[in-house]
């Protein structure tokens, strides 16, 4: 296992770091207060090639590997979580699903414009009454000739009002036993008749992002927009979550780093009892814990990325990485606020936003409790990953870069 970074890794990392810090960071507080996505974010990410960073060049992407995706997510969330959320839904949940499960025609029609940033993508799985219990979804898809008629509502959808393409899931067989075997995946577009969407405001965190709902009323979706086979939707969704969780975990690494770096800076500048608080042992203890959490989280994510690069199934490894990194990002934010004292309780400093943003990640892409159950299942021998008809392709430089 070699986690050393190549010149290409470092180049992509620096490019994203410069973009996030120089172009987005100066106005983060303004857009967080407005509860709106900065309108330059998506166009600039598209222009820089970030929205297709690890998609093969032949499909409009930049041709970097899966480790690069983790580095990009870390740098984006180091500045603000909504930047990484874009990568989680556009890349991890949607584009990588088309790369894994789509036909060649679907890759040309959906993946190419998404990788180029000409179209933005989202993912519609969660519903008002169906979150962790995916099989409880009530959205339906009825086939009539060459189209499916979709009805239902999706909730807590990032980029709901920005996306042109939305990968949604609906029951083609509502009476299937087991229930998850009746779920099918479809790509809908924002211009289809019967598709409506709206924004959700007043969230605890990720306020400078775009979160909303998508409703489908008698939406006619062509058969050629079905991703995978009928009844295969549950497995497509779970495979998508493997990739989404990878990006969320990688972003949490960046959030821990933000807490650590901001706390170190403040500890050197703030004085109490005649000396910098960095000299106080209990402050040092908090810094030490954050460093430990950062190092451990980074290694877990790098391992998952390495497994993706070599084409090995990584559901367990990605789950534990996401679980640990997101839990520790919340703990790091709490410690950072404590170090900042009263200033940490106001938005004069960034650490209060880190806590608000970090809390979302222990809920979406599988709650921490779901990941605990998954890890227990693996350890006790109750859970085993079944082979998929379409596995995520291993990183092949010759294929990816040509």
**Active site positions, annotated:** 365
CA atoms 41, 44, 48, 54: torsion sign? positive
The strand pair at 183-189 and 226-227 is best described as antiparallel
The strand pair at 275-276 and 271-272 is best described as antiparallel
Before 178, cis peptide (omega within 30)?
Answer: yes
Sort residue 196 into left (φ over 0), alpha (ψ -120 to 50) or beta: beta
- Within the chain, what is the greatest distance between any pair of CA atoms? 79
- Alpha helices per DSSP H over 80-128: 81-86, 96-101, 104-106, 112-116
**Cβ-contact 146, 199 below 8 angstroms:** no
The C-alpha atoms of residue 387 and residue 395 are separated, in whole angstroms, by: 19
Q: At what angle do helices 315-340 and 351-361 cross, to 10 degrees?
A: 150
Tell me the CB-side half-sphere exposure of residue 85, using CA atoms within 13 A.
22
Q: At what angle do helices 351-361 and 233-269 cross, to 10 degrees?
A: 160
The strand pair at 165-171 and 121-124 is best described as parallel
Q: How many helices (H) and strands (E) does the chain have?
A: 14, 10
Reduce the secondary structure of 187-214 to three states and give it as a string.
Answer: EEECCCCCEEEEECCCCCCCCCCCEEEE
User: Buried b / exposed e across 216-234, counting CB within 10 Å, b at 16+?
Assistant: beebebeeebbbbebbbbb
């Amino acid at each position: 296992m070699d986690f050393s970074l190549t010149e290409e890794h470092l180049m992509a990392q620096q490019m994203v770091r410069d973009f996030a810090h120089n172009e987005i960071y100066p106005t983060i507080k303004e857009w967080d207060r407005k509860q709106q996505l900065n309108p330059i974010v998506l166009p600039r990410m598209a222009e820089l090639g970030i929205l297709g960073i690890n998609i093969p060049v032949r499909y409009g992407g930049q041709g970097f590997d899966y480790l690069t995706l983790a580095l990009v997510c870390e740098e984006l969330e180091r500045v603000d979580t909504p930047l990484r959320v874009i990568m989680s839904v556009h890349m991890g949940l949607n584009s990588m699903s088309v790369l894994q499960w789509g036909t060649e025609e679907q890759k040309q029609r959906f993946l190419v414009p998404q990788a180029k940033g000409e179209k933005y993508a989202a993912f519609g799985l969660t519903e008002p009454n169906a979150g962790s219990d995916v099989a409880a979804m009530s959205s339906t898809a009825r086939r009539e000739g060459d189209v499916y008629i979709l009805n239902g509502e999706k909730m807590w959808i990032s980029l709901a009002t920005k996306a042109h393409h939305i990968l949604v899931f609906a029951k083609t067989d509502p009476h299937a036993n087991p229930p998850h075997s009746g779920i099918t995946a479809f790509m809908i577009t924002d211009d289809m008749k019967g598709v409506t969407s709206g924004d959700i405001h007043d969230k605890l965190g990720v306020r400078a992002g775009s979160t909303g709902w998508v409703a489908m009323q008698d939406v006619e979706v062509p058969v050629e927009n079905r991703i995978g086979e009928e009844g295969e939707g549950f497995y497509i969704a779970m495979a998508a979550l493997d990739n989404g969780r990878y990006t969320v975990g990688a972003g949490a690494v960046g959030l821990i780093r933000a807490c650590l770096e901001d706390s170190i800076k403040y500890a050197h500048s703030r004085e109490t009892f005649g000396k910098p608080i960095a000299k106080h042992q209990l402050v040092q203890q908090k810094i030490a814990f954050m460093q430990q959490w950062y190092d451990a989280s980074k290694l877990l994510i790098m391992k998952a990325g390495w497994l993706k690069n070599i084409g090995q199934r990584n559901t367990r490894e990605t789950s534990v990485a996401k679980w640990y990194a997101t839990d520790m990002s919340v703990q790091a934010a709490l410690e950072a606020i404590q170090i900042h004292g009263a200033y940490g309780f106001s938005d004069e400093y960034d650490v209060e936003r880190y806590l608000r943003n970090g809390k979302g990640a222990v809920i979406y892409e599988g709650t921490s409790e779901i990941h605990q159950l998954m890890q227990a299942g693996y350890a006790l021998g109750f859970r085993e990953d079944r082979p998929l008809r379409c596995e995520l392709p291993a990183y092949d430089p010759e294929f990816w870069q040509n």
